[in-house]
């Protein structure tokens, strides 16, 4: 399946989705229009109905072009420092995401190195790393935020901590797998060179874990963003994409919700793409094919 083989089917599916979307817009927003026409005492024609459903102020389901228009207004036209600008809110979310992602990656790598080099740590920590993920951290995000606020920690760090907690897990799992991926023959070779364990680590284990690391990083950055967004929900809707979602749902501003949602989606896509580019760059420098198989 090369890139060319994918474009046309993907575009087809997307256009089908858009068509279904517009059909749903008409269908879901129609009751409101009928109601309005009835109260005004006028008959409403079909073409009139269709055009009305796509330009409501607070539609049940906004049309795609309304969302794009709102996004254009709030991203390009508004001043970046304005509180109505999505760039402003997006940046707040993004900074928490990145901080959490960096701490989480660091923590994950350190834990993985410990697990690989220490048997007791492997046996006792690993099950708890897995168990730690059964705690629905997103569910306790509000508590963490509020409690950290109570001790005077506010702003970026509490949100970043939630992202950290979410993102360290895929990194630990991927790195443990990656650091263990050199096979016996390679490890034996290092031993015949009488390499120290630090040398084995830097010259063999670390390079061979790179493909695994980047695969994990892609998951980690996506989940970091989710963590940052949910972390913004309980702060009383101050700033950030999550706060936009919450404010939109309080005031019934559906277009605002959808545009925040789409911005978050685009942000996630861009972040994953950046990690993907770094992935293929690093592997290329190491003389491997981008798909992770040794050249």
Partner 1 sequence: MIWLLVAAVLFWMATWVLNEWLSRQNFGSGLVQKAVNLVIPLMFGVAILVLWEGFTRGLDVPKVLLPPPTMIWQRILNSLPILWADFQQTFLKAVIAGYVLGCGSGFLVALLCDRSSFMKRGLLPLGNFVSALPIIGVAPIMVMWFGFDWQSKAAVVVIMTFFPMLVNTVQGLSAADLMQRDLMRTYASTWWQTLTKLRLPAAAPFIFNALKINSTLALIGAIVAEFFGTPIVGMGFRISTEVGRMNVDMVWAEIAVAALAGSAFYGLVALVERIVTFWHPSLRSGRT
Give the whole-angstrom CA distance, residue 259 versus residue 137. 26
Report how far residue 223's alpha carbon sits from residue 166's, in angstroms, rounded to the nearest whole number: 6
| Segment interacting with partner 1, rule: CB under 8 A, options 37-45, 101-109, 174-182, 248-256 | 248-256
Instruction: Choose between 171 and 204: whose C-beta lies nearer to partner 1.
Output: 171
Binding to partner 1 by CB under 8 A, coded x per residue (else -) over 205-244, reads -------------xx--x--xx--xx--xx------xx--
CB 247 within 8 A of CB 237: yes
Contact flag: residue 159 with partner 1 (CB under 8 A): no
Q: With contact defined as beta carbons under 8 Å apart, do 166 and 139 qualify?
A: no
Interface pattern 250-289 for partner 1 (x via CB under 8 A): --x-x--xx-xx--xx--xx--x-----------------
Return the number of the residue (77 or 147) whose C-beta is nearest partner 1.
147
Q: Which residue pairs from 203-209 have beta carbons closer than 8 angstroms and sit at least 24 positions apart in sequence?
A: 205/116, 205/179, 206/179, 207/286, 208/178, 208/179, 208/181, 208/182, 209/175, 209/177, 209/178, 209/179, 209/181
Would you tell me which residues interact with partner 1 (CB under 8 A)?
1, 5-6, 9-14, 60, 119-120, 122-128, 131, 133-136, 138-140, 142-143, 146-147, 150-151, 218-219, 222, 225-226, 229-230, 233-234, 241-242, 245-246, 248-249, 252, 254, 257-258, 260-261, 264-265, 268-269, 272
């Amino acid at each position: 399946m090369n890139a060319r083989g994918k474009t046309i089917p993907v575009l087809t599916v997307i256009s089908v989705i858009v068509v279904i979307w517009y059909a749903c817009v008409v269908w879901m927003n129609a009751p409101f229009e009928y109601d309005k026409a009835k109260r005004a005492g006028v008959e409403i024609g079909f073409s009139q109905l269709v055009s009305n459903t796509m330009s409501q102020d607070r539609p049940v389901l906004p049309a795609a072009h309304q969302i794009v228009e709102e996004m254009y207004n709030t991203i390009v036209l508004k001043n970046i420092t304005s509180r109505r600008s999505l760039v402003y809110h997006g940046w707040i979310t993004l900074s928490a995401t990145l901080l959490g992602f960096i701490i989480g990656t660091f923590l994950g790598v350190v834990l993985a190195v410990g697990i690989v080099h220490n048997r007791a740590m492997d046996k006792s920590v690993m099950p708890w790393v897995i168990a730690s993920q059964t705690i629905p951290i997103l569910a306790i995000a509000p508590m963490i935020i509020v409690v950290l606020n109570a001790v005077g920690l506010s702003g970026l760090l509490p949100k970043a901590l939630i992202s950290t907690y979410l993102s360290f897990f895929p990194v630990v799992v991927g790195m443990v797998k990656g650091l263990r991926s050199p096979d016996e023959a390679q490890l034996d070779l290092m031993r015949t060179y009488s390499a120290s364990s630090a040398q084995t680590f830097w010259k063999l284990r670390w390079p061979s874990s790179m493909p695994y690391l980047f695969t994990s990083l892609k998951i980690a950055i996506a989940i970091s963003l989710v963590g940052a967004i949910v972390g913004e929900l309980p702060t009383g809707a101050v700033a950030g994409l999550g706060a936009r979602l919450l404010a939109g749902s309080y005031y019934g501003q559906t277009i605002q919700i959808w545009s925040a949602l789409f911005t978050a989606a685009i942000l996630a896509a861009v972040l994953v793409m950046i990690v993907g580019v770094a992935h293929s760059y690093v592997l290329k420098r190491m003389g491997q094919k981008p798909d992770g198989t040794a050249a």
